[in-house]
Structure 1
Amino acid sequence: MRIAVIGAGGVGGYFGARLAAAGHEVTFVARGKHLEAIHRSGLSVHSPLGEFHTSPASAVPSISDLGSADLVLIAVKLWDTEVVAEQLQASEARQAPVLSLQNGVHKDGILRRHVPDDQILGGLCFISAFIEKPGVITHNSSLQKIVLGPYHASQRSISASLVGILLDAGIDAELSADVEKAIWEKFVFLVGLSATTTTIRQPIGVIRSNKRSRQLLYDVMAEAVALAQATGVRLDDDFAGAQLDFCDTLPVGMTSSMHNDLEKGNRLELPWLSAGVVDLAAQQNIAVPRNRTVSDILAPYVLGRPADG
């Protein structure tokens, strides 16, 4: 397949390199020193599952430089989604199926403003990977999974085919019969983990072992569950409790990418996490006070480390 990967960071870099190593024609959209390194020597991945890399020059600086494609994978930060969708529709890859591996429940709605609905597949991923240095991705554990599925009956065949392609490339992949539900299930956990680790500035082990911060974690997730149910997504009433139990199984030092971004002074994905819960809840006329408080606490950091007022 001809696969365009928009975003060559931890997520896009890892899965794109896996697909390239399996023989697919993968082109990354990258920038800066990362792009230069891929042009010079390809993209390398260090992983407990093995080392692999792409060929040199397997990247372009802009979506407008993409040729036609059989699949587009989107793996950029959420604030870039609108621009990516606009540029994609002006590119030669505009007719390809689109699979976003981004976080959150807003992503596909943003894409639909510019990309035909029948080209957008539902998807999510589970992985911890990051750019170690330009041209090098480090994968932290054996977890590397993509869940995808159709939004419409006409997409069932391509969805099943893509799962087979991912499996053949050594990627743990699953076809979901209700991909919207799967996306919301991850969102509930992600909102809880990001909200608590970022506001408290501590990993999950500290949060779950303290009675009050543990309750905060549960409450933030329970509000996200209530929001999902209000929008018609069939999450169980005790789903937040099940996710809290899941948090007890995580490594004590596990944190969120938003916490890491806060510590580095980077921009935050808050508007699509706890602040996104607040916005969507307002549309449903339901209260989400814990997520609102998280959103208020982190508001000064959304665009990066604030300057002195």
Structure 2
Amino acid sequence: MRFLIVGAGALGGYFGGRLLEAGRDVTFLLRPRRVAQLAKTGLVIQSPQGNLQLPAPRHVLADGIDGPYDVILVGSKAYDLASTMDSFAPAVGPNTVILPLLNGMQHIDALAARFGEERVLGGLCLISATLDDEGRVLHLNDTHDLNYGERAGGRSARVDAIAAQFAGANFGSNASENILQEMWEKWVFIASAAGVTTLLRSSFGEIVAAGGEAVSLSIFDECSAIAAHNGFAPRAAAVQRGRAFLTMPGSPITASMYKDMARGAAVEADHIIGDLLRRKAPGQAATPSVLQIAYVNLKAYEARRAA
């Protein structure tokens, strides 16, 4: 099975590197700048689950794609998705499966519209990772899980084939029979965490210490209600876990969107929070809610950044 990993950033670099480590047929689709970086250092992963250095991982540029791949793993930022789709389009053949790891749901709509509903699986990853200034992949926690499955539910031959390829690689993998539910539950938490930490410029623990626990829970409950309106009410375990994370005293955790904002980078405001607000029930939160205020805050940041 031929894998095309779109990019060798934190997500693509980590999971693609682990697949290469396990002897799978992996090619990275790269931009020239990352090609030059990897030529100097190789693909380096520093992780509590084991370090890895791959001196010369196989790669291709967009104009060098020579035919279809079996699986295309996409982990780009949402604001880069349009150009990312253009870059890997020549690798999509009649039997290609696209496995996206972006948060939210808007990317699913875009990929399905471009390449066909039947080619797009659901997927998510649970990992905290980043690139350092030298291009090394830094895995920051013990979790490194990748969940995937048919969006219609159940199992299929192609999901089983991917599961066989993932087996033995140094990351957790789960061929889910209910992947959309899992994606919505992650979206609820990601949007809540991003909304409250970017709005209040603080970690979960700092918000609790300032007496803001009710603010965090309000935004989580609003996101959960939107998911329920769309047929994916978070299950009890997801609700308990999300509320506990958001209200944990002393927690240093912030959302990755807050980290992006703090360093003046682009943020996924529309994809993570704006799109969620667009899916709310008519009349829900008619007066400005915490989630709506958080979205306005992010859009104001984007306007300042653009100026």
One fold, TM greater than 0.5?
Answer: yes
Superposed displacement of residue 144, structure 1 = 0.3
Rounded Cα–Cα distance in structure 2 between residues aligned with 1:153 and 1:299: 35
Q: CA deviation at 1:293?
A: 0.7
Rounded Cα–Cα distance in structure 2 between residues aligned with 1:290 and 1:246: 18
Relative distance call for 1:29 and 1:301 in structure 2 (3 A) is farther
CA shift for structure 1 position 79: 1.2
**For the residues of structure 2 that align with 1:139 and 1:194, how far apart are their CA atoms?**
20
Task: Decide whether the 8 Å contact of 1:144 with 1:172 is kept in 2.
Answer: yes
In 1, the alpha carbon distance for the partners of 2:141 and 2:63 equals 31
**Structure 2 partner of 1:222:** 221
1:90-130 CA-to-partner distances (Å, cap 9, x unmatched) read x0334410100111122211111101211111110011111
For 1:50 and 1:238, how far apart are their aligned partners in 2? 30
Partner SS for 1:45: strand
Paired residue secondary structure (1:133): coil
Trace 1:130-149 onto structure 2 (pairs within 5 A).
130-149=130-149
1:205 touches 1:254 (CA, 8 Å); kept in 2?
yes
Superposition RMSD on alpha carbons, in Å?
A: 2.5
Instruction: List aligned pairs for 1:80-91, cutoff 5 A.
Output: 80-89=80-89, 91=90
| Separation of aligned partners in 2, 1:262 and 1:58 | 33
Of residues 60-69 and 94-103 in structure 1, the stretch that sits farther from structure 2 once superposed is 60-69
Measured after TM superposition, the shift of residue 274 of structure 1 is 2.0
Paired residue for 1:287? 285
Q: CA deviation at 1:304?
A: 6.7
Alignment of 1:1-309 (within 5 A): 1-56=1-56, 58-62=58-62, 65=65, 67-89=67-89, 91-95=90-94, 96-152=96-152, 156-211=156-211, 213-236=212-235, 240=239, 242-248=241-247, 252-281=251-280, 284-287=282-285, 289-302=289-302, 305=305, 307=307
Q: Which runs of 5+ in 2 are unaligned?
A: none
CA distance in 1, matches of 2:168, 2:32: 32
Q: Which amino acid aligns with 2:84?
A: V
Percent identical pairs in the alignment equals: 24
C-alpha change, 1:111 and 1:278, in structure 2 (3 Å) is same
- Secondary structure, in 3 states, of the residue corresponding to 1:302? helix
* d(CA) in 2 for partners of 1:304, 1:23: 46
Alpha carbons 2:208, 2:248 under 8 Å: kept: no
Question: What SS does structure 2 have at the residue aligned with 1:273?
Answer: helix
Of 200-209 and 289-298, deviating more is 200-209
Please give the TM-score of this superposition, normalised by the length of structure 1.
0.89
What's the CA shift for 1:5? 0.9
Secondary structure of the 1:113 match is helix
- How far the C-alpha of 1:295 sits from its partner, in A, is 0.8
Q: What SS does the aligned partner of 2:146 have?
A: strand
Q: Which deviations, in whole Å up to 9, do the C-alpha atoms of 1:218-270 show, x marking residues without a partner?
A: 11111111111111224348954551124356972211111111111111101
Q: Evaluate the alpha carbon distance shift between residue 70 and residue 251 of structure 1 in structure 2; reply closer, same or farther with a 3 A threshold.
A: farther
CA contact (8 A) 1:17 1:43 kept: yes
With over 3 angstroms needed to count, the CA separation of the structure-2 counterparts of 1:250 and 1:192, relative to structure 1, is farther
| Code of the aligned partner of 2:284 | I
Q: 1:172: how far off?
A: 0.4
Deviations 1:180-222 (A, max 9, x none): 11000001111111111111111121123333x2212111111
